[in-house]
Amino acid sequence: MMKVFLDTNILLDYGEVRNDFIYAKAIMELGERGEVELYASYLSYANMGYILRHYPKEELWPLIKDMREGINVLSTDSTQLDATLAHQPVKDYEDLLQYRCAVEGGCEIIVTNNKRDYMEFCELPIYSSKEFLLHYFSQNNL
């Protein structure tokens, strides 16, 4: 089964019903149905808590719990941090941390709506949420 790493912005698209919500929702449904294995880093949940800190806690907790459903959470560790620090400096340090987490977690694809920053260092296939769905459905003849 395809192991798909979701960048924080995909989770935020889903949780905040942003512009690409419909694509993020469709990806989440693929994971819930067991058609793909979805992964995100522990760091994404920390980032979401910070980014969404303006939400009342009574709304934030259920929102983050909902975004946890059907997603395997990868932890970050000193090995990933050291690999990141050994890399040449990049524009978006946080994306490099996410990438190292995806690689260590055995993910095959990264889905992000910020492909430009990942292209600087990523050796995995990178798709926007819409591109991923087109790729998935074309591969599965659906």
Question: Average pLDDT per run of 10 along the chain, which is 142 residues long?
Answer: 96 85 94 95 91 88 86 90 86 91 96 93 96 92 62
- Whether 141 is covered by a domain: the verdict is no
- Whether 142 is covered by a domain: the verdict is no
What is the C-alpha separation between 133 and 142, in angstroms, rounded?
11
- Is the pTM for the entire model greater than 0.85? yes
Token pair listed for 86: 């050994």
- Whether 16 is covered by a domain: the verdict is yes
Q: Is 40 helix (H, G, I), strand (E, B) or coil?
A: strand
pLDDT at 141: 66
Contact call for residues 88 and 72 (beta carbons, < 8 A)? no
Tell me the residue range of the domain where 38 lies.
3-136
Instruction: Enumerate the H helices of 33-128 as residue ranges.
Output: 42-51, 57-68, 78-86, 93-104, 115-118
Domain count, the chain: 1
Q: What is the CATH number of the domain that holds 79?
A: 3.40.50.1010
- Whether 121 is covered by a domain: the verdict is yes
- Whether 120 is covered by a domain: the verdict is yes
Contact call for residues 74 and 40 (beta carbons, < 8 A)? yes
